């Protein structure tokens, strides 16, 4: 569970730092014979800061939680 907790903390920090994911998309505007015009469209996928905080808290709980050991 420790690697999962560490990954959640890192994802939470990245979500808070960047605030979302943005990417470029090529779109064909005109395609006539041998002439082709394209446009680059920038899109973004926002991530709420609340999601980042929840991921960090969940990861911290997984990192610092103790496994219960049973003795037979």
Condensed to tens digits (0 to 9), the pLDDT of residues 35-68 reads 999 999 999 888 888 999 999 999 999 888 877 6
Residue 1 has pLDDT above 80, yes or no: no
Beta strand segments in the chain, E: 20-32, 35-46
- Mutual angle of helices 49-64 and 2-18, in 10-degree steps: 160
Of all residues in the chain, the percent with pLDDT exceeding 90 is 47
Average pLDDT over residues 5-28: 90
Report residue 15 as tokens: 């979500």
| Dihedral of alpha carbons 55, 57, 58, 63, sign | positive
- Whole-model pTM above 0.85? no
């Amino acid at each position: 569970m420790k690697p999962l907790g560490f990954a959640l903390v890192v994802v939470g920090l990245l979500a808070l730092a960047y605030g979302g994911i943005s990417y470029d998309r090529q779109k064909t505007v005109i395609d006539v014979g041998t002439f082709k015009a394209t446009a680059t469209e920038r899109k973004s996928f926002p991530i709420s800061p609340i999601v980042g905080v929840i991921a960090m808290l969940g990861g911290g709980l997984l990192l610092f939680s103790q496994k219960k050991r049973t003795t037979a």
